[in-house]
């Protein structure tokens, strides 16, 4: 069975691996149809992802078909199309026992901490499969990306009468935008690339977009009745942007970090204490987020149309992959057809 592995940063390798065993109790054997490529995979390739270990078969955004199930599995059956929740949790630690399965103390993301979906078949805990009878495999492969944004907006507690600034209009920022829009809150997007802001206005229906400038605070006040945003969600993963964001919330506002940096983030304490700010991090997503997103797409309330900009075949991925690391290629989401 063919598989694609990152042996080390910048170093892909084609592997021949044995076919998986039949599923044990609670497991399912799945056939991988479609894999989404995301920032984590690009950072893993570039050697910039702190949680990524090598060698590794990447792939955590997955549209799969169930091939076989082990004993005790009743929620899925052979032939079912599913999205995979790639966050493997221990079910026993203090976080898991309190329902915080997204930040399990022994958390492993498929394709990051353990092998993922760039292979024709693999075994997965059946409880991590989310069925849809309507969605295509490509749509199912998008659910995980969307879940990152969904969880970040849930963390913020954003309400319809409030305003929200999203910093960074890459894939995580766009996923966040989908769920900010669903709250009905006033939405502002900030990014340094005019092309990305143009995409937000033309395709995502955003009316207020800003580029970084020395006037930023005043521009934000102008857009929020003289206040600043109730919620700021930073999806850049850039420590400068994240440090600046402490000064952009209104009184009693919330700041959410959904991007990750390995650098130091710093702020002057009075600046964040005076408005009694709340800082929240958002990591991964919960099972309920996957269920909700599948339903939203099925009901036509969430349009996946604009998302996929590039498609590639499994056989040609290694050759085209470096292209996806360059923002000027206009890639939002590339998907790999692993196929039958």
Nearest distance, CB of residue 226 and Zn ion, angstroms:
38
Q: Which is nearer to Zn ion, 38 or 69 (CB)?
A: 38
Between 90 and 265, CB nearer to Zn ion: 90
94 close to 104: Cβ distance less than 8 angstroms: no
Please, which residue, 104 or 185, has the CB nearer to Zn ion? 104
What sign results for the dihedral spanned by CA atoms 99, 107, 66, 37?
positive
- Least distance in Å: CB of 41 to Zn ion? 7
List, as one string, the DSSP characters of 195-231: HHHHHHHHTT---EEE---TTHHHHHHHHTTTS--SE
d(CA 85, CA 187): 28
**Total H helices, total E strands in the chain:** 10, 17
In the bound state with Zn ion, the residue whose beta carbon lies nearer, of 95 and 279, is: 95
Which residues, including other chains, have CB under 8 Å from residue 286's CB and lie 6 or more apart? Answer: 99, 101, 102, 151
186-190 and 108-109 strand pairing: unpaired
Q: Smaller CB distance to Zn ion: residue 90 or 203?
A: 90
- Residues found near Zn ion in the complex (CB under 5 A): 38, 89-90, 93, 96, 104
Spatial separation of the C-alpha atoms in residues 191 and 172, rounded to whole Å: 13
Residue 330: C-alpha distances to residues 155, 269, 314 (Å)? 29, 38, 21
The distance of closest approach from Cβ of residue 126 to Zn ion in the complex, given in angstroms and rounded to an integer, is 18
Compute the least distance from the CB of residue 115 to Zn ion, in Å: 16
Q: C-beta of 233: minimal distance to Zn ion in Å?
A: 17
Do residues 335 and 138 lie in contact, with contact meaning Cβ atoms separated by under 8 Å?
A: yes
Closer Cβ to Zn ion, 27 or 61, answer by number? 61
* Closest CB to Zn ion among residues 62, 76: 62
CA 87 to the chain's CA centroid: 12
Least gap, CB of 112 to Zn ion (angstroms) = 9
Minimum distance, C-beta of residue 77 to Zn ion, in the bound complex (Å): 27
């Amino acid at each position: 069975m063919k598989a694609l592995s990152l042996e080390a940063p910048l170093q892909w390798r084609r592997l021949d691996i044995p076919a998986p065993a039949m599923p044990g109790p609670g497991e399912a054997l799945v056939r991988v149809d479609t894999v989404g490529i995301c920032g984590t995979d690009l950072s893993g390739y570039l050697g910039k992802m702190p949680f990524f270990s090598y060698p590794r078969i990447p792939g955590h955004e997955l549209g799969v078909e169930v091939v076989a199930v082990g004993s005790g599995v009743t929620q899925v059956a052979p032939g079912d199309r599913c999205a995979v929740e790639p966050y493997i949790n221990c079910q026993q630690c203090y976080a898991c026992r309190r329902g915080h399965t997204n930040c399990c103390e022994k958390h492993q993301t498929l394709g990051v901490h353990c092998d993922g979906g760039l292979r024709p078949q693999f075994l997965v805990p059946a409880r991590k499969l989310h069925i849809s009878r309507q969605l295509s495999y490509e749509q199912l492969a998008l659910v995980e990306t969307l879940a990152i944004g969904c969880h970040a907006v849930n963390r913020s507690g954003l309400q319809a009468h409030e305003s929200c600034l999203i910093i960074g209009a890459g894939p995580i920022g766009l996923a966040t935008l989908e769920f900010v829009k669903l709250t009905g809150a006033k939405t502002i997007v900030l990014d340094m690339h005019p092309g990305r802001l143009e995409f937000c206005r033309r395709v995502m229906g955003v009316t207020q977009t800003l580029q970084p400038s020395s006037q930023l605070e005043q521009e934000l006040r102008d857009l929020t009745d003289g206040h600043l945003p109730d919620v700021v969600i930073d999806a850049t993963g850039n420590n400068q942007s994240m440090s600046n964001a402490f000064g952009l919330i209104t009184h009693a506002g919330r700041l959410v970090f959904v991007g990750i940096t390995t650098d130091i983030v710093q702020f002057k304490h009075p600046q964040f204490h005076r408005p009694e700010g709340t800082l929240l991090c958002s990591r991964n997503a919960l099972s309920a987020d996957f269920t909700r997103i599948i339903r939203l797409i099925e009901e036509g309330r969430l349009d996946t149309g604009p998302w996929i900009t590039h498609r590639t075949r499994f056989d040609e991925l290694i050759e085209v992959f470096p292209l996806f690391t360059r923002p000027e290629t206009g890639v939002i989401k590339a998907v790999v057809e692993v196929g039958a």
